[in-house]
Structure 1
Amino acid sequence: MNNIMMPQKWRLIDESNMQNRSPLESFAMDDTLCHLVGQQLSSPTIRTWVHKESVVLGIQDHRLPYIQQGMAYLIAQNYQPIVRNSGGLAVVLDRGVLNISLVLSEHEQTISINTAFDLMVNFIKALFPEAANKIEAYEIIGSYCPGTYDLSIEGKKFAGISQRRMKGGIAVQIYLCIEGNGSARAKLIKQFYEIGLQNAETKFVYPNVTPHVMASLQELLRTDITVAETNVRIQQLLEQRRFDWEIAPLTASESDLYAYYLQRVFDRNKSMLGE
């Protein structure tokens, strides 16, 4: 973490206990923080968040030929499907998955896409020093939502990273499968794609999910590490590295800005779904 791109002052927003909210609310929160941090109205921010059983779908997922049947399957498995108005593909969220956003400003200097990704990789390695030498970043073929910055240990993916850029701010987001069975989550998405495709030919090539290439950190590290413990590790890491940090929820005026972005997220989602 000690490199030129890592700010020395951080704001921490912990929403890991607000699990009953829609993932759309989390998208609005990161948009709000991008605005605030990008315009230097807030310090760089670390946000942690957890959602109850949901599957966040990308635009391409919603274009599956039998998407309604696919979504009905997810609901039958007690997972709420949500469609985000951005790229990326299906991702599973549940109480065993910790999401972290590092929100940075480009006011002082431009931050390249790869540099922002590398920053998150280094942050995760610092968070799990017992596995730092084993964590690799490359695309895991057969995983759901595959990408160049999939994080894995011995070829099994436990995390994926994405970015959101707006208003001079960058939200580098990661989902960490901490607890539970990683391949079971992958099986859910594999079945979703099989039902949503039903062997139809499409221009877009959807992932051929191979469940055994995904696992949780509990499985990979053979420990009983939890989401709550990982959340505590973040604060301990900031203390160990002597960063200036404080826990600071949104102020009243910042909450007004959040309400604006929340309405925008819901309006765009409805428009995209044709509601």
Structure 2
Amino acid sequence: MLDALARALAPNASIAHGNGEAAIVEDERLLEALLDDQRAAGYARLWTNSRCLVTTRRFARMERFAEAAAASSARGWPVFVRASGGTTVVHRPGILNFSLYDIAPTGTVDINTRFERFTRRLTAGFAAIGVAAETGWVAGSYCDGRFNIVSVGQKIAGTACLVRKRGGWLGVLAHAAISIDGDTDTDLTAITEFERALGLEPRYAPDSHTNLAARIRMVPR
């Protein structure tokens, strides 16, 4: 199932199996390296990661961050910080990360258009393996956004965007974390406990989330 979706999204890319912070930082490193080339380019990266929480710089600046991160790590969920916005998300085996890099001259790229193209590629990939999906908000989902990938009203993937400029060139990194299988209730518990320790009041709903395995089981044969 993971391999089938990976082939539908990026047939020429292999799946890299990462380990914690290094796998997360690699996204930003690749974006900077492509920008350094100062030429138009596109690149797709497929990767998984070890079990961890990935949060934002905004949360990392909060007074209780170090204590909350240490407690989460003690529960088996180390916390790392990403460059893109949003709130806290889960990485683990069973979640496929899809990163798409697009480098072009500044002024020739409409970021919203490029990101919408990215989400269309995602929904087309789901359709190729028999799962209908669309974009939209999902009340009660973690790291909610209008470019969630949604199947039958439940969030199946979250998306994010990172933009860098250099020397007349623009780099756009679009990213999706796709839930293939595994226990989404456990994911929610890990995020909720961490964010509450930060002093936040998250209210996430288990039935707002699903994974690809559950959705495929529901597809009529």
**Residues 51-83 of structure 1: CA deviation (Å, up to 9, x unaligned):** 101111102222444323321232122122112
Match of residue 79 from structure 1: 77
Structure 2 vs 1, CA of residues 145 and 93 (structure 1 numbering), >3 Å: closer, same or farther? Answer: same
Gaps of 5+ in 1: 1-9, 200-205, 224-275
Distance 1:127 1:103 in 2: 17
Structure 2 vs 1, CA of residues 71 and 220 (structure 1 numbering), >3 Å: closer, same or farther? Answer: same
SS in 2 for 1:16: strand
Q: How high is the sequence identity, in percent, across the aligned residues?
A: 22
Is contact 2:137-2:147 (8 Å) kept? Answer: yes
TM-score normalised according to structure 1 size: 0.65
Distance 1:137 1:215 in 2: 14
In terms of Rg, which structure is larger?
1
What is the Cα deviation at residue 172 of structure 1?
Answer: 1.0
Is contact 2:18-2:50 (8 Å) kept? Answer: no
Is contact 1:189-1:209 (8 Å) kept? Answer: no
Distance 2:154 2:84 in 1: 26
Distance 1:84 1:18 in 2: 15
Describe how 1:118-197 pairs up with structure 2 within 5 A: 118-129=116-127, 134-166=132-164, 167=166, 168-197=170-199
Gaps of 5+ in 2: 1-9
TM-score normalised according to structure 2 size: 0.79
Asked if 1:94 is matched to 2:92, the reply is: yes
Name segments (4+ residues, structure 1) moved above 4 Å. Answer: 10-13, 130-133
Distance 2:87 2:151 in 1: 22
**Count of aligned positions:** 205
- RMSD of aligned residue pairs (Cα, Å): 2.8
Distance 1:86 1:165 in 2: 9
What is the Cα deviation at residue 136 of structure 1?
Answer: 1.9
SS in 1 for 2:172: strand
Is contact 2:126-2:133 (8 Å) kept? Answer: no
Match of residue 6 from structure 1: none
SS in 1 for 2:14: strand
Of the structure 1 ranges 60-69 and 150-159, higher mean CA displacement relative to structure 2 is found in: 60-69
Describe how 1:109-124 pairs up with structure 2 within 5 A: 110-124=108-122
